[in-house]
Copies of this chain bind each other. A is one copy, B any other.
Amino acid sequence: MIVGIDIGGTNARALLIDPTSAQILDRRQVSSSGTGPQLVSTLAQIVETFDENSSQPVDAVGLAVAGLAHRSGVVRYSPNLSDLLEFPIGPDLEELVGRPVVLGNDATAGALAEHRLGAGRGCDNFGFVTLGTGIGTGFVLDGRLVKGASGFAGESGHMVVALDGPVHVTGMQGPWEYFGSGNALGRMGQEAAAVGGFPAGVALAGSVDAITGNHVSDALADENADAVRIFDEFCRLVAVGVSNLVMIMDLEQIVVGGGLVRIGEPLSSGIQNHLGQLIVGSGHRPQVEVVLAQLGADAGALGAGLMAVDLL
């Protein structure tokens, strides 16, 4: 048996996975707060509980975190988990549970899961793009997961798309995730409402400042014309980053994941509609397919588990 755990800023989602069928046999969710040693102790308890309740022993553990997850098992830097700065979570957990532990970036793990079990099946060159608070990405090229030199591949949300643009909360000037994340959709709703261009959003949220991406997507579901316009511009800005990734790596498919996936088909077709204009020579290359992720919030934990399977 395999345990895959996605450690988010608030909670850790743990799955017990059958390594042969990749089926989820059990699941648990715990708080991820506390110091590094406290978290390691919490994770070790989960592994032992899974082990005790399972018909077969746990053979290996996979962990996923946002940010710079080193191949060695050290979290070099995670924006959501400041307590884990330069913390050797992999080696420490490995010592405590006596089983091999592998650490990966959450979006990279998600890409592996969508490749093996989800929307990326049968596609050897694709990008997994999660749209949430920020933007996370993972890549499969020639059928192989791209980890990068240290394991840090996929930090594409920080890619500069506006040299002289606004400074993001990360300190970067004009990064893709300033324009293309779920937070950006809410900001664009507020900006439109502030000049009287989104009264439906104000009605839904109560005030201009209270408008979030959810209000824009709710108004979009109601076919509100302002929301349609705001959302189309948002999709264009997502597509700018996507087209950069396609031109750099020649991806044939983009799997869109993260919180915004609940918007559904308007999101995938909205992004795809702008790619033809943005990709140079698009008349001479196959159309890039934009599809929705299939594994939802389990993608990171499943992918972490699959990384651990590859250890065996």
Give A residues with C-beta under 8 Å from B. Answer: 67-68, 76-77, 85-86, 124-125, 137, 139, 141-142, 144, 146-156, 158-165, 170-172, 174, 179, 237, 240, 243-245, 247-252, 278, 280-281, 284-286
Contact = CB atoms under 8 A, between A and B. Distances in A.
Contacts of A124: 149
19 contacts: A68-B281, A76-B281, A76-B284, A86-B284, A141-B148, A146-B249, A148-B250, A152-B285, A153-B250, A155-B250, A155-B280, A156-B248, A158-B247, A162-B163, A162-B164, A163-B165, A170-B280, A172-B280, A244-B244
Contacts of A174: 163
B142 A125 contact: no
A250 B141 CA distance: 14
B125 A149 contact: yes
A286 B150 contact: yes
Contacts of A286: 149-150
Contact of A149 (B155, B159, B251, B284): B251
Contact of A159 (B67, B137, B142, B244): B244
A184 B152 CA distance: 31
B77 A149 contact: no
Contact of A147 (B153, B250, B251, B281): B250
- Most B CB contacts (10 A, CB to CB) among A86, A171, A284 go to A284
Number of copies: 2
Contact of A160 (B125, B147, B243, B251): B243
A248 B107 CA distance: 12
B285 A76 contact: yes
B158 A161 contact: no
Contacts of A240: 160, 163
A262 B248 CA distance: 26
A158 B282 CA distance: 12
A287 to B, nearest CB: 12
A162 to B, nearest CB: 5
- Most B CB contacts (10 A, CB to CB) among A76, A86, A240, A281 go to A281
Contact of A158 (B68, B172, B280): B280
Nearest to A156: B248
A63 to B, nearest CB: 18
Q: Which 5 A-B pairs have the closest CB atoms?
A: A148-B250, A76-B284, A149-B252, A125-B149, A153-B250
B146 A144 contact: no
Contacts of A151: 250
